[in-house]
Structure 1
Amino acid sequence: MRINPEKFNHNLETRNIKNASFIGLDAFINNLEKHFFSEISIREDASDSEKLNLVIELSCDLTLWELIHQYNSGNWGTFNTSKFSLSNEISALERINDIRIDVDEFSIVLKDTTLIIDKIYNQSIGEQLEHILHELGIHYVHYTKNYSEVPYEIFVAVFVENLMQAELTSNNSRKTHGYSSFWAIYFESEIDAVIYDVQNSTFLNENLYMKINK
């Protein structure tokens, strides 16, 4: 299924985005650099005075395939070997800053593609980042069209009208489901984004989509 790309713009220009400034920022950046071998940019949405909504960008000198290989080898991300947890890092920042902190958007800029993860419920990115990276590796053969074309942008997750509900929730049954349902994939060979059905490891058929929405 092809979708107009405007539907999935993350629209940072509509937010009051500024460079992040909070206690422990430097240590937080250093930890991210250590585990992701990337240059780190952290901004915040200043529209909410009672909460810090972070926009985190990693710039990594790897291709998508190299990243997946390094992640599977335990050399990148190192969630299991070092017990690194983005959620724990955020919780520590909340304690020392005495304010609620969440990640609004987490993007990984690679040599051949950009992965963009949007928040779908409170603390969703911190809790599900490891799962998302795992899914990225499992589905590589499918969303690259049997290794024939690497997308230049991947949006995780996408709520398709009448297929999913875009409410923020902490229900465990929807945590994984939310990031494992539909991704918006951008290819140089396609004019618009196409929707990848993660559950069925295939691109969503436009006729099926229209049938569901009747």
Structure 2
Amino acid sequence: MASKNYLSGLFGASPVAPLQAHMTIVDECVTKLIDLFENMASGNTAEVEKIYQKIASLEQQADDKKQTLREHLPSGLFMPIERQDLLDALRTQDLLANRARDIAGIIVGRKLQFPEQAAQRVIELVKATVETCHQALRVVNELDELVETGFRGHAVHVAEVMLAELDDLESATDRIQVSLRADLFAVEKELYAVDVMFMYRIIESIADIADDAERVGRRFQL
């Protein structure tokens, strides 16, 4: 009975509740990158460090929730989603929070600041990436309706529209990334070479968050 009550506490009334709870934390973690990059652009290093700590804390919360679910999810649990698919989805979602923490860690560790020509563009990229993450969360939250309707009817159409919007948002981040790389290339000879290397790494990692957010949605399409 105690085990049953514990599982009930984990999943509530929804078989996809753990995915939704985990993705909500992940989304909050990634969203903090906006504040981090805006404070980086203004040179407020003290605030950047505070935001990094918040991101690291949220990433740890997401990781703890993932580990708890992995340890207590019964192999014979009957759900509309296969156990392995659920675990794979959790891992994909967790990547978003991990990347956000790594990005913030590089900025804090190197006291990095993008040059003026690229500073606003990188904020634009971060905001577009956060919107992609928001949309992935909306898709995950739509799973309740899909489960209740047996993956049929109007709910499927709604999910397909949301996935199309997710694709468009991810494509927008690709376009911004191209412009940002051009902005940085134009001035990189004036910058410390190692810092430039890390800036390109950060740009790639931000783009990876958008890619992984799209993967979250596409996993449920399958």
The two structures have a TM-score, normalised by structure 2, of: 0.30
Higher relative contact order (CA 8 A, sep 6+): 2
The two structures have a TM-score, normalised by structure 1, of: 0.31
For the pair shown, which has the larger CA radius of gyration, 1 or 2?
2
Higher percent of residues as strand: 1
Higher percent of residues as helix: 2
